[in-house]
């Protein structure tokens, strides 16, 4: 009996093996295409698989990126030693300028506090930060992302903004256990609700895989000038409002392009901003009833 089963198994298995050998390439190409279609139609499944791979390789990437980072730093050190004199003079000027700003900021802070007290303004929650090291660049011609070495265990959640000292770099789109992916503001899929700082005009900052991003949904009569600063608006309640993103770099034929403030090509560390936006919560029925009773 056993022998017969084995025989029939072989009888089936051998042609299958020959077939897969013959059409292996074809089958694998088909599965790769199927995967692409799945990741297009149902991104969540693809994200799980991707996070699995990222979490598995994270320790290796983390270890490999350390020497790379130190060598980059040595090059930067030598570079800065060569320009020490000029840098020093520049910094002195900057300190003078910033001291004046400090005075202004202090006065405004006091004024702000006083006015808030008068208005009884409800202060939004304060942000908290997690600083992460960049362990992966995209290495792909068609995407602009970064891998940071913090993940769900560090309290990172999807949608958090990633900022550098200069401004916003992108936002977290995928969170693994110990690594998370930051979609840069210049990526094709990046959409950030922003306002123009001086005129408070709303727009959506749209990436298109070039070095600058485009302002979409800007009203036709909007007054924009080159050099205007663009900051996050916080609309949608996901991103913290007021983070600087970029400056308008060119306006041609009604297309407004924005140069990101962060130097996206050479980010070594990012800060991920945890911020609880305002949320609408549906109160349970009794709570509403009690409140209604309590009200005079």
Note the residues at the interface with other proteins (CB under 8 A). Answer: 24-25, 28-29, 31-36, 38-40, 46, 49-50, 52-54, 57, 60-61, 64-65, 68-69, 71-72, 75, 134-147, 173-174, 181, 183, 188, 208-211, 263, 265-268
Q: Which is nearer to other proteins, 149 or 233 (CB)?
A: 149
Q: Which is nearer to other proteins, 59 or 227 (CB)?
A: 59
Q: Give the Cα separation of 74 and 54 in Å (integer).
A: 28
In the bound complex, what is the minimum distance in angstroms from residue 270's beta carbon to other proteins? Answer: 11
Q: Give 258's strand partners.
A: 213, 248
Q: How many CB atoms lie within 10 A of CB 287?
A: 10
In the bound complex, what is the minimum distance in angstroms from residue 124's beta carbon to other proteins? Answer: 31
Q: Give the Cα separation of 149 and 154 in Å (integer).
A: 10
In the bound complex, what is the minimum distance in angstroms from residue 45's beta carbon to other proteins? Answer: 9
157 phi/psi in degrees, rounded to 5? -125, 160
In the bound complex, what is the minimum distance in angstroms from residue 183's beta carbon to other proteins? Answer: 7
Q: Give the Cα separation of 4 and 17 in Å (integer).
A: 20
In the bound complex, what is the minimum distance in angstroms from residue 60's beta carbon to other proteins? Answer: 6
Location of structure tokens 């942000």: 127
Q: Which is nearer to other proteins, 146 or 150 (CB)?
A: 146
243 phi/psi in degrees, rounded to 5? -80, 130
Mapped onto helix, strand or coil, the DSSP state of residue 286 is: helix
Mapped onto helix, strand or coil, the DSSP state of residue 112 is: helix
Q: Which is nearer to other proteins, 213 or 267 (CB)?
A: 267
User: What letter does residue 152 receive in the DSSP assignment?
Assistant: G
Classify the C-alpha dihedral 216-219-224-230 as positive or negative. negative
Q: Which of 258, 182, 250, 163 is nearest to 214 (CA)?
A: 258
Q: How many CB atoms lie within 10 A of CB 152?
A: 16
Q: Which is nearer to other proteins, 102 or 211 (CB)?
A: 211
Two tokens, residue 262: 């962060």
Location of structure tokens 């992460």: 132
Q: Which is nearer to other proteins, 69 or 197 (CB)?
A: 69
Q: Which is nearer to other proteins, 58 or 233 (CB)?
A: 58
Q: Which is nearer to other proteins, 163 or 224 (CB)?
A: 163
What is the maximal distance between C-alpha atoms in the chain? 94
In the bound complex, what is the minimum distance in angstroms from residue 249's beta carbon to other proteins? Answer: 17
In the bound complex, what is the minimum distance in angstroms from residue 204's beta carbon to other proteins? Answer: 17
In the bound complex, what is the minimum distance in angstroms from residue 46's beta carbon to other proteins? Answer: 5
């Amino acid at each position: 009996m056993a022998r017969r089963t084995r025989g029939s198994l072989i009888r089936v298995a051998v042609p299958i093996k020959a077939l897969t050998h013959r059409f292996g390439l074809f089958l694998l190409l088909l599965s790769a295409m199927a995967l692409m279609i799945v990741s297009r139609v149902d991104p969540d499944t693809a994200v799980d698989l991707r996070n699995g791979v990222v979490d598995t390789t994270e320790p290796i990437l983390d270890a490999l990126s350390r020497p790379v980072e130190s060598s980059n730093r040595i090059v930067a050190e030598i570079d800065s030693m060569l320009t020490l004199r000029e840098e020093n003079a520049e910094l002195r000027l900057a300190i003078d300028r910033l001291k004046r700003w400090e005075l202004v900021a202090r006065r405004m802070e006091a004024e702000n506090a006083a006015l808030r007290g008068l208005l009884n303004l409800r202060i939004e929650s304060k942000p908290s930060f997690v600083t992460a090291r960049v362990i992966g660049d995209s290495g792909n011609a068609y995407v602009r992302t970064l891998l940071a070495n913090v993940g769900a265990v560090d309290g990172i959640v999807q949608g958090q903004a990633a900022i550098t000292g200069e401004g916003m770099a992108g936002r977290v789109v995928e969170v693994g256990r110990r690594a998370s992916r930051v979609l840069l503001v210049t990526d094709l899929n990046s959409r950030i609700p922003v306002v123009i700082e001086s005129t408070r005009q709303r727009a959506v900052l749209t990436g298109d895989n070039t070095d600058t991003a485009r302002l979409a949904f800007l009203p036709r009569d909007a007054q924009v000038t080159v050099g205007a600063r663009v900051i996050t608006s916080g609309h949608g309640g996901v991103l913290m409002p007021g983070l600087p993103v970029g400056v308008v770099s060119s306006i041609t034929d009604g297309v407004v392009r924005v140069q990101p403030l962060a130097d996206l090509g050479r980010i070594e560390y990012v800060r991920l901003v945890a911020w609880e936006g305002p949320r609408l919560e549906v109160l349970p029925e009794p709570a509403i009833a009690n409140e209604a009773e309590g009200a005079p």
